[in-house]
Structure 1
Amino acid sequence: MHSVTNPFQACNDIFFKPNGVFKAVGENNNWSWMPFILVMAITLVSQYLYVNFVDIEWFAEMNIATQGDMSPAEEEQMKAFFTRDALLWSSMIGAFFVPIIVNAVYAVYVNLMTRSDDSHVYGFTDWYGFAWWLSMPYVLTGLVGVGLLLVAGDHQVAPSILSPTSLGFIAGIPMDSPWYAFGQALRLELFWGIYLATVGISQWTSFPLKKAALIASAPYIVIYGIWLVALTLF
């Protein structure tokens, strides 16, 4: 098996030879700080750049349009919230805490699903570190998104520009569409992360590949399936 000797090498090899990376991560403590720092850095930087680039009045109008029928007074009240400073603070706080919480929930899930493994040796903190390695594809596409933002000539640009591999960006789904959030969430990194999770779970457990793939994909199938049904019916 491919040998990984340090966390810097692991951050590179996770894209090409993930099996060796997960083997090394399972044997070494504190390596998962590297993907945490990289993921959080690109997430926070991209949000900061977007909020300071976008036409804030246009952004406010697009968000108000998604709320449906509103009285003029309600619209004015909502517009008052959409100052650049308020949007910056809310975006940065969300960008920082949401990945931390989501990865914690994912770690609880995988920890519970792997308890039946005869060779079970990994606990919640191990799986929490594991989750950050699954997020590494977001670093690559995040850099592409920042590049697209920096060369954009129009300031009336949707946040989906930061998710260049998302269905929302590729299909050009407008912000006032009920499908916008779903399209933005459905992106290449999602499937890449499922693949990495499958590799990692099969490396850290004695489960066959099919069971590892089922554990890796099950929460996304359920969540996106319910979301799709809700959009279709309602």
Structure 2
Amino acid sequence: MPLSIIKALISRPKFAFQQIQQQQISGWIPFLLIIISLQLFWLIYFAQVDIQWLIADSLNSLAAQASPSEQQALAEQLTPELIRYSSHISSSLMLILQTLLVATYLNIATKLDSHNTDTLKDWFGFYWWVQLPTVAQLLLSVIVLWITGSNQFNLYDLQVTSINQILGLQAGDALFSFAATFDVFSVWSFILMFYGLSVKTQLKSSTIINICVIPVLITLSFSYVFS
């Protein structure tokens, strides 16, 4: 059944969320798929990347924002082990935190529907289904890594479907972080959230679109302010 639901999320997203709602399918399924895929991605990435090049590239990107003494301290602290462990752990924690924040937002925003009784826990599980395109995104990144055969690829280079492939912004440019990470899989998640909310609430389509767009606008604003 979970496999059929995942297939339906591609071709019949509204039907998929109806099945999830009716059968009360747990959010643990997409959560485990995403977290396991993420950990496998890091294993493959670090098995292929030139770790010394990655350290140098990371230091170069931080150089403009750090003093010489801070650069020296970073160079001493940024070890291969630290990069590996921090990537495995921090990426998962950030994903969980992001899900919690969006779930909190949805729990508040959907109060516009007086008939909706979903709790924060319900929205937390729901948003993992919305993020399932992350698995396809990670798979594509691995394929790109293997096809190129290069061992000098940072994470942004692997985002081959991002809008930055069109805009061509550089690190440090306004909106670079947003443009480099927002891609077709982000659009897919946006569509899934729309259909999911249309099943779980009785809100108008225009209201649901506004609810879906606000997190994107917030991310865009943060990217601009902190670039």
Q: TM-score range by the shorter chain?
A: 0.7 to 0.9
Task: Give the % identical residues.
Answer: 23
> Is residue 63 of structure 2 the alignment partner of residue 54 of structure 1?
no
Q: TM-score, normalised by structure 1?
A: 0.86
- Is the 2:48–2:151 Cα contact (8 Å) retained in structure 1? yes
Q: In 1, distance between residues paired with 2:174 and 2:50? A: 22
Q: In 1, distance between residues paired with 2:115 and 2:175? A: 43
Quote how far apart the aligned CAs of 1:87 are. 0.6
Q: Name the counterpart of 1:42.
A: 37
Which of 111, 115, 120 is 1:115 aligned to?
111
Query: Cα deviation per residue 1:68-113 (whole Å; 9 max; x = unaligned)?
Result: 1756554343222232211110000112111111111111111111
Q: In 1, distance between residues paired with 2:54 and 2:38? A: 20
Amino acid at match of 2:91: A
Q: Which runs of 5+ in 2 are unaligned?
A: none
Quote how far apart the aligned CAs of 1:121 are. 2.2
CA distance change for structure 1 residues 64 and 205 in 2, over 3 Å: closer, same or farther?
A: same
Amino acid at match of 2:33: L
Q: Which runs of 5+ in 1 are unaligned?
A: 1-5
Aligned residue pairs total 226
Q: TM-score, normalised by structure 2?
A: 0.88
Q: In 2, distance between residues paired with 1:214 and 1:167? A: 22
Q: In 2, distance between residues paired with 1:172 and 1:159? A: 15
- Is the 2:110–2:201 Cα contact (8 Å) retained in structure 1? yes
Provide the aligned C-alpha RMSD in A. Answer: 2.3
More helix by share: 2
Amino acid at match of 1:151: I
Amino acid at match of 1:198: F
Query: Cα deviation per residue 1:26-57 (whole Å; 9 max; x = unaligned)?
Result: 12334322211111122111122222322222
Q: In 2, distance between residues paired with 1:224 and 1:110? A: 18
Quote how far apart the aligned CAs of 1:226 are. 4.5
Amino acid at match of 2:118: Y
Query: Cα deviation per residue 1:169-214 (whole Å; 9 max; x = unaligned)?
Result: 5666555766542332222222221111111111111111111111
Q: In 2, distance between residues paired with 1:149 and 1:212? A: 37
* Residue aligned with 1:118, SS: coil
